[in-house]
Chains A and B, each alone.
Chain A
Amino acid sequence: MSTEQHIKLPEGSIEKTTTTLNLGPTHPATHGVFQNILELDGERIVSAEQTIGYIHRAFEKLAERRPLYQITTLTDRLNYCSSPINNMGWHLTCEKLLGVKTPKRVDYLRIIIMELSRISDHLICNSVVGVDSGAFTGFLYVMQYRELIYEIYEEVCGSRLTTNMGRIGGFERDFTNTAFEKLEKFLAEYPAVLKEFESLFTRNRIFMERTIGAGPIGAERALNYGFTGPNLRAAGVDYDVRAHQPYSSYEDFEFDIPVGTTGDCYDRFLVRNGEMWQSLRIIEQAYKKVQEFKGAEASVYHADAPEYYLPAKEDVYTKMEALIWHFKIVMGETEIPPGEVYYSVEGGNGELGFYLISDGGRTPYRLHFRRPCFIYYQAYSELTKGAMLSDAVIVMSSLNLIAGEMDA
């Protein structure tokens, strides 16, 4: 037998004592298109290297050639588990730049929608943590309530996943009665479901043993890594954009900010669950406030911003002014006042920021998205160092990594 090698192995690959494992780009456990190159010693993770960018769609470049209202569809596709929050965040940024003041009813309706999307976002994240630790039931059980949330979106804007909801200044139409009925149904039924979902997991011995101590991070490291949102709060820092820089009249509401201590998967799970309860609280208050509007105020659903808000169709056909605005808006011919603004909202994953520079043209001169996912995913290798291979998967899902938000 000749000792000649026919298969060319990479230099040093025989002497190497660790194994390289590609987790992704298309692996069922990554829940999105991104890659982790794990270096394993047996089943222990020595190091992890992330590769992202597989679904990079150049949103920031595209935005430089689009009038403001066409950028909303781009924001849908960032964190697609809670696209209405992205839409509202974008509208709020534009309103800040343009100096548009929205009526209270619009703010409250927005809050209802944003909190619903937060619930649907956290719901998916937490139930997927369950799936990745081997409990499929919770995931299937809560799915019908995400469906109900999507039906509310559908009733409000016509679409479900990539919603393109609302306009600069408010909503494109008022909420229908069906939307409010569905909201009432949700408010009535969801607490019991969430309670049952919690009783499935929170004190479940197997779940606890799988998640406690998995992928922990301390407050200081989390801050240094730019963590925001539930992942930061799980580490014990009570930073929440809704409370620190209230937007859309969040200051009118009463809610708590749940925090954890160790920043591990279990704490992240608990914080997200706690936030769902708080979101329910907020929705209930907001719905009550919406019902309290009387007279003309009770049907206000947009601000008076003729330069940016499309006029009603019947006006377009009968009034000169409306026809002109309609044409100018649709053709993207309204000049954006020059300015520089950074605005952020509390997205499903944390502080979702929009850095918008206008030079007085019709499109943004520069638009940058601060995507929370992109920023905290770099901590992944630190979170998984020394952990078991199975923890790699559960850490990934409990961070709620959304490829769309990472790659922009």
Chain B
Amino acid sequence: MALTNETIKDRLTAKFGEQLTHFEEPYGLLTFEAPAALNLKVMQFLFDDEELRFQFLTDLTAVHYPHQQDRELAVVYHLHNLTDNIRLRFKVFTSSAQPDIFTATQLYSSANWMERETYDFFGIHFVGHPNLKRILNVDEMEYFPMRKEFPLEDQTRIDKDDAMFGRGALPAAANVGAVETPRNPAEPTVPASGTPGVKGSEQDWSTETTKQ
């Protein structure tokens, strides 16, 4: 009998009860949320269970939601059961103040570089990772570039403001001319590599700072 989203959901709720939340099926892909401390337990269960057998890690990445207090960073796992040919996605949320997540390298060798990449770009600290250092960026880099507080464009430009891309309100100064550089040099920056996420609580970047 082929495995269905319902069966997976039932098996998971039977095992973990109320701890797994937000069961959804966007575009048919079972998605749920697990507490950060349980990520490895959930994965181990999905891996070992006779019926579930999610033994292929398709993708591991992170998303930054700066406006969600204490759950700014989401680590997203895509798992695949190749026997029954069914996928699932689950997320764990963590704070950017202390982004500690257990590593999946013991289960999947492929998680090694994917976690290094996630660390490199989002500063997520994978506890127990054998070699957690930057992979695509230079080692000397002092920030995590995929976090939303690092805008891509030159910050003095106003024509590339978020509002132009359908997010947020138009800046009041949009038609006035000179705009103050949003990021104040005195403002604490994101901590150096190696000690991820120590300064997270002081990260008071808001849309207001960029929209003066």
Chain A residues at the B interface, C-beta cutoff of 8 Å: 52-53, 56, 58, 60-62, 64-65, 96-97, 221, 223-226, 237, 239, 244-245, 332-333, 335, 339-342, 344, 351, 353, 355, 357, 359-363, 365-366, 368, 370, 374-379, 407-408
Contacts and interface: CB of A to CB of B under 8 A. Distances in A.
A361 B58 contact: no
Contact of A64 (B82, B114, B152): B152
Interface residues of B, number: 39
Contact of B110 (A60, A62, A225): A225
Given A60-B146, A96-B27, A342 B87 contact: yes
Interface string B100-126: 000000001110111001000100000
Contact of B78 (A244, A342, A408): A342
Contact of B153 (A65, A332, A340): A65
A362 B114 CA distance: 28
Given A362-B166, A366-B63, A407-B136, A340 B108 contact: no
A342 B31 CA distance: 11
Interface of B: 26-27, 29, 31, 55-59, 61, 63-64, 76, 78, 82, 85, 87, 89, 108-110, 112-114, 117, 121, 134-138, 145-146, 152-153, 160, 165-167
Given A96-B27, A342-B89, A355 B152 contact: no
Contact of B58 (A97, A339, A370): A370
B27 A53 contact: no
Given A239-B82, A375-B110, A362 B165 contact: yes
A342 B29 contact: yes
Contacts of A370: 58-59, 78
Contacts of B112: 378
B165 A223 contact: no
Q: Which of A56, A224, A239, A379 is packed against the most chain B CB atoms within 10 Å?
A: A224
Contacts of B57: 226
B165 A361 contact: yes
Nearest to B61: A368
B113 A378 contact: yes
Contacts of B165: 65, 332, 361-363
23 contacts: A53-B138, A58-B152, A62-B152, A64-B152, A223-B82, A224-B109, A226-B108, A226-B110, A245-B85, A332-B165, A339-B26, A340-B27, A341-B29, A342-B29, A353-B78, A355-B61, A355-B76, A355-B78, A363-B165, A363-B166, A377-B113, A378-B113, A408-B136
